[in-house]
Chains A and B, each alone.
Chain A
């Protein structure tokens, strides 16, 4: 088991702290690592795609779980997989697609681990149909603070504390996950433009149910009548008969090509209002007004950014902040106000997406609730960004909404309890399960989770 003392950050590359990075290669080593955590505790880490400080632990241990990445069993008939939690969704897709199965939920990147997917209870473009990742987890094995490994079936309190629990209940070692059957590895995609925010919300509300996958890219730099203009891309897995004859010979092929990585040094301010404004204008114009039935690969439809390794470097050394919130149905006015404020503030954001969530899952700190979620990226060096986002938090909290902990790096701790009503239950369970506070992260210190 290797251990190095290194600076650690999240994907947003803000607020680096130093920790002992431990990489267990067996369950026994993982148990030993948890027992040896020391006074400042430890936190499991997967592929480091949480944007903020969820998988950092200043002065303590960070358990890099990616060496534990075996598949134990695939039920090809029933569609479940039993695998180590350190395996990435990318690897799962590579293994499962040829067998006619797909992961039940994928976020905007394939490079997350199953453990991270459960810890953050991630969602994807199919949330309105399929819910969050935890809905498809049958059971999991959890290494808790006492060094014991517990089997945690769904429907238990510990399961609901762990799904969305940001790694603070223990280290997930394995999980049994239900899969999605597919006939091909291609997507059948409809694209359309929406001229403004109301148009966008109307289209999403009216026709989302026809699609398994749905998301809208939104131009947050457009102002005036065009505020909230967007490009909707919605679709489903293509059935075999939708493929051209040539592609039918190998319908489940999965190819993911990657471009060269972003350079390690990028000057500050590359993403300015001018450059992002130009990009957004082009992106909007290049999208077809309406086009149905286009075939797209899985990487192109779900994970366009995975094509550029280390794309997070383009924000320069100050890094960036991801802001994602959800407000419930009936709170459309709050959403409108927030979008208007962002547009007027001229935040240079080119990765902004709006999605309609479906039913919530029971995780105590699970993020999705039925309603509207907006996610945007903003360079952290933007002057006055902190107070501006604090203002948005107030608006979100007043509307009964919440921000996403897997993306957070700056929330005012006082607002957390209002956003997550089960927070006290979570704290109580942690106090009982882990009285010494073995599982600790920078996020849990900052927000007193």
Chain B
């Protein structure tokens, strides 16, 4: 069960090697979390992540999960929920893709869309139903500011996150009053493996900062969290720029 501050005792991470997710898990284990499920494709990285979290004192198990195989989600996640209540589901999987390459090779772009959007829709709905049955829990969805307004430089990724973001907002409204809380987290540029080698955007942040924002959002039962918070104002301004101006911005 979550405590008065929204801190979970059990955590399911979808995308068990995500740096943001692991930073969040570390933070939550330091507080109340005792049981962690890391869902992801079986890999040495997934096992290493589990080992690291075990070292912090949590009981950690891994479960095979592939975002690109929605047909398997019901079974894979059903197994987790059958073992006991999950207080927090952190939907953290996603790929950035390679915009230039994917524009030439649409199959790559489809893979981005299928992972970030289709996979998340499936896993999100499966999780939401399980949370609803237990009458409590939070679903935290890692979206991105890139979904707020698609940019020339990464609109394939951005559009997939835009779809995910809209889906998660709608899901949150659908679950309002059921005891299940959906929180959309929109980080800006996060310094991580995913963005290694890319030029840093203004207001860049870290996985640890996102983790701190998630903890605060859980306490406040927020529905939308921007990381850093200033991005809310910045993106609100960018959203309202005319296309012709936005296109010429060096972002």
Between A and B, 15 residue pairs with Cβ closer than 8 Å are: A14-B5, A16-B179, A17-B135, A40-B135, A52-B4, A57-B135, A60-B135, A380-B219, A410-B3, A410-B5, A412-B32, A413-B9, A442-B136, A445-B85, A446-B1
B134 close to chain A: CB less than 8 A: yes
Contact of B1 among A18, A19, A387, A442 (CB under 8 A): A442
| B45 located at the interface, meaning its Cβ lies under 8 Å from any Cβ of chain A in the complex | no
Cβ contact of A15, chosen from B3, B31, B178, B220, cutoff 8 A: B3
Task: Decide: A446 near B3, CB < 8 A? Known: A18-B179, A412-B32.
Answer: yes
Name the distance in Å between B93's Cβ and chain A's nearest Cβ.
Answer: 27
Whether the Cβ atoms of B135 and A386 lie closer than 8 Å is no
Q: Let me know if B136 and A58 touch, CB within 8 A.
A: yes
Determine which residue in A57, A58, A319, A445 has the highest number of CB atoms from chain B within 10 A of its CB, and name it.
Answer: A58
Alpha-carbon separation in the docked complex, A291 to B2 (Å): 47
A445 touches B32 (CB 8 A): no
Closest chain-A Cβ to B245's Cβ sits at a distance in Å of: 37
Nearest-neighbor residue (CB-CB) of B85 within chain A? A445
A7-22 residues with Cβ-Cβ distance < 8 A to B are: 7, 12, 14-19
Contact between B85 and A319 (Cβ–Cβ < 8 Å)?
no
Chain A neighbourhood of B1, CB < 8 A = 15, 17, 53, 58, 442, 445-446
A15 to B220, CA, bound (A): 10
**A interface, how many residues as a size bin?**
20 to 34
Contact of B133 with A by CB under 8 A: yes
CB contact between A318 and one of B134, B136, B177, B220 (< 8 Å): that residue: B220
| Complex contacts, A386 vs chain B, CB 8 Å | 3, 5, 7, 31
- Determine which of A58, A60, A317, A409 lies in contact with B4 in the assembled complex, contact meaning CB atoms within 8 Å: A409
Residue B15, interface by CB 8 Å:
no
A409-B5 Cα distance, complex, nearest whole Å: 9
Docked Cα-Cα span, A317 to B134, in Å, equals 23
Tell me which residues from 167 to 182 in chain B have a Cβ below 8 Å from any Cβ of chain A.
Answer: 177-180
Question: Which partner residue on chain A sits nearest B6 by CB separation?
Answer: A15
Considering residues B1, B4, B32, B220, which has the most beta carbons from chain A within 10 angstroms of its beta carbon?
B4
Q: A61: shortest Cβ distance to chain B, in Å? A: 10
Measured CB to CB, the closest approach of chain A to B127, in angstroms, equals 15
Q: B5 near A380 (CB under 8 angstroms)?
A: yes
In the bound complex, CA of A192 to CA of B101 (Å): 80
Give A387 to B31 CA distance when docked, in angstroms: 8
Residues of chain A from 85 to 107 with CB closer than 8 A to chain B in the complex: none
Indicate if A153 sits at the interface (CB-CB under 8 A). no
Q: Is A321 positioned at the interface, with any CB of B under 8 Å from its CB?
A: yes
A interface secondary structure, majority: loop
Q: Which of B3, B7, B177 has the most CB of A within 10 A?
A: B3
Complex contact B177–A7 (CB within 8 A): yes
A351-383 contact mask (Cβ, 8 Å, vs B): 1 or 0: 000000000000000000000000000001100
Verify A446–B9 contact, CB threshold 8 A: yes
A385 within 8 A of B: yes
Q: Which of the residues A19, A380, A412 comes within 8 Å of B135, measured between beta carbons?
A: A19
Q: Which of B110-144 contact A (CB under 8 A)?
A: 133-136
Beta-carbon nearest neighbor of A10 in chain B: B4
Minimum CB–CB distance for A72 against chain B, Å: 35
Residue of A60, A319, A442 most packed against chain B (CB within 10 A): A442
Whether A15 lies near B134 (C-beta < 8 A) is no
In the complex where A40-B134, A386-B31, A442-B1 touch, is A7 in contact with B7 (Cβ < 8 A)? no
Give which listed residue, A14, A18, A40, contacts B178 with CB less than 8 A.
A18
Judging by beta carbons under 8 Å apart, are B4 and A15 in contact? yes
A412-B32, A445-B85, A446-B9 known; A14-B4 Cβ under 8 A? yes
Decide if A59 is an interface residue (CB 8 Å cutoff).
Answer: yes
Q: Which residues of A contact B220 (CB under 8 A)?
A: 318, 381
- For the complex, what is the distance from the CA of A14 to the CA of B136, rounded to whole Å? 13
User: Knowing A15-B1, A15-B3 touch, does A381 contact B9 (C-beta < 8 A)?
Assistant: no
B136, A12: Cβ atoms closer than 8 Å? no
Does B3 lie within 8 Å of A58, measured CB to CB?
no
Residues of B within 8 A of A381 (CB): 219-220
Which residues of B have CB within 8 Å of A59?
133-136, 179
Give the nearest-CB partner of A321 in chain B: B4
Tell me the residues in window 86-120 of chain B with beta carbons closer than 8 Å to chain A beta carbons: none
Cα A380 to Cα B4 in complex, Å, equals 7
Which residues on the B side are within 8 Å of A12 (C-beta)?
A: 4
State how many angstroms separate the Cβ of B178 from the closest Cβ of chain A: 6
For chain A residues 140-173, which have a beta carbon within 8 Å of chain B? none
Q: Which residues of B contact A412 (CB under 8 A)?
A: 32
- How far is the CB of B214 from the nearest CB of chain A, in Å? 14
Output the nearest chain A residue to B181 by Cβ-Cβ distance. A16
* Interface 1/0 per residue, A434-449 and B, CB below 8 Å: 0000000010011000
Nearest CB of B to A399, in Å: 23
Q: Mark B65-92, 1 if CB is under 8 A from A, else 0.
A: 0000000000000000000010000000
A296 CB → nearest B CB, Å: 34
Within 8 A of B (CB), among A111-153: none
16 additional A-B residue pairs with CB within 8 Å, beyond A18-B136, A380-B219: A15-B2, A16-B179, A17-B1, A18-B135, A18-B179, A40-B135, A58-B136, A58-B179, A59-B133, A59-B136, A318-B220, A321-B4, A380-B5, A381-B219, A381-B220, A386-B31
